[in-house]
Amino acid sequence: MEPIFYIIFSIIAMIWITKVALGKIRNLPPSPFPCLPIVGHLYLLRSPLYRALGKLSARHGPMVMLRLGARRVFLVSSPEAVEECLTTNDITFANRPRLLAGKHLGFDYTTINWSSHDDHWRSLRRLVTLELLSSYRVRTLSVIRAEEVHHLVKKVMYPRVVRDGTMEMKSMLFEVVLNLMMTMISGRRCDDHGDAVMTRRFMEIVQESFKVMGATNVSDYLPWWKSVGGKQLEKKMMALNEKWHVLMQDLIEEQRRKTVVKELEKKNLIEVLLMLQETEPENHSDEVIKGLLQVLISAGTYTSSVTMEWMLSLLLNNPETLTKAHAEIDKCAGEDRLVNESDLSNLPYLRCIINETMRKYPAAPLIFHESGKDCMVGGYHIPSRTMLLMNVWAMQNDPNNWEDPKKFKPERFVGLEGSGNAYNYKLMPFGAGRRRCPGENLGMRMIGLTMATLIQCFEWERPSNEMIDMTEGIGLITPKSKPLVVKCRPRGKMAKLLSQM
């Protein structure tokens, strides 16, 4: 028995020594010890993942090479390293890793957020940029955004459900963004026919999708795991995939049944896509259209609504900041009209609050890419097909990048504008590089107008003397663990105007 043990031990030791030697020869980034056989560094992962990875970076440095099962992962948590990855090596890291979430919730890796950097991805990106998110389109839809925010104000004034004088804001904030996206995509709101059931269906499937995408799927790192029964998470993804297919196909068929002829500028996105399907059927199949709609509805709604919920929570825990925001908006818009989108450029402190919210609680705390070829980052060799994992949360909460990062301090952004490379990659809530979120302009306008209007119209209070719970939930997009519950009443100076709505 002893000889067999020694033989096995010797083989493992030789493999480990060989890997260490090769790593030194190729000058790979530092790696935590020990890297266990088979599982590698999987044993180090905890929830929430971005915090666990942040601790690893604090211990081993801003560039760390992990071996997660059979997959090599390059963990980056410094602005300098991220900048090098997304500028010098932008094309090299323009791909996405092949994870099971991309197969089942990314329509077999064909959606704009899961597709490889190829002609298909460029076609989708161009289509979304020109037909939905161009500066012209975003400006022309300002009236729709204002209407949706006014609908929200009415719902806050006359909520459907009130318990002990409080109301839950998570669903309200989700609904206002969902109705905007649905109007842009299909030409109608979920609420057009009092369709509260449809709104709930979308909210449930979006939340569940991001929750399972944010879970660590062992099969992504140990492919054989599925053969020994590890398929629970994949089964959930497959069930969600079926739900998405049904919902998106229903939207497409609804547009096909319409016979009204419109000018191109007045067409909604599905009408434009169906028109392109007639001329380029191979590039605009129903599957491609469904995948595009799914991304726009899920990412377009959840990131903005989650950010607004975090922002309102922070304001309730920091009433002095809320008082300053009230004063700025009152000075700009007065009390005879509601704040509008053109006012946003004159509300710099509001923009500071939004930036500080996204710094402390980035909607997407981890961003992942994959290298298409060997490259060098920070003097280290990064092999081809290495997953790049950028810890946005760690960078935005690092005392080396931000003074007193645990403190909510919007004033730190006074006099500064922009995001991403405007802050030397210290703040990048929308990502950076060629895969930067194309909906940034639309998202910032919607968040700005919605929050400015809610601040202008209402006095907001915590349900009790206790501070709002700021515990993070689980998911690829990070929600609050407990939905925000508030007390609010119309502001006295706005009562006359609100009574006319």
Dihedral angle sign, alpha carbons of residues 394, 400, 405, 406: positive
Residue 93 burial (CB count, 10 A): 30
Asked whether 369 and 64 are in contact (CB, 8 A), the reply is no
| Residue-level length of the chain | 501
Q: What are phi and psi of 391, to 5 degrees?
A: -90, 85
Asked whether 179 and 190 are in contact (CB, 8 A), the reply is yes
Asked whether 301 and 177 are in contact (CB, 8 A), the reply is yes
Asked whether 113 and 106 are in contact (CB, 8 A), the reply is yes
Which amino acid, 251?
L
Residues annotated in a binding site: 437
Residue 278 burial (CB count, 10 A): 8
Please spell the DSSP secondary structure of 429-451, one letter per residue: TT--GGGS-TTHHHHHHHHHHHH
Residues annotated in a binding site for heme: 437
Query: Which tokens go with 263?
Result: 């000018």
Asked whether 106 and 291 are in contact (CB, 8 A), the reply is yes
Integer Cα distance of 146 and 150 in angstroms: 6
> In DSSP terms, which residues pair with 490 in a beta bridge?
458
Which amino acid, 173?
L
DSSP state of 32: -
Integer Cα distance of 416 and 423 in angstroms: 8
Integer Cα distance of 19 and 22 in angstroms: 5
Integer Cα distance of 61 and 75 in angstroms: 10
Q: What are phi and psi of 207, to 5 degrees?
A: -60, -45
- The residues, any chain, with a CB within 8 Å of residue 305's CB and separated by 6 or more, are 170, 173, 174, 176, 177
Closest to 296 measured CA to CA, from 153, 171, 137: 137
Integer Cα distance of 71 and 73 in angstroms: 6
- The residues, any chain, with a CB within 8 Å of residue 201's CB and separated by 6 or more, are 247
3-state secondary structure of 6: helix
Integer Cα distance of 85 and 425 in angstroms: 11
What is the C-alpha end-to-end distance of the chain, expressed in Å? 84
E strands along 160-303, which residues?
A: 167-168
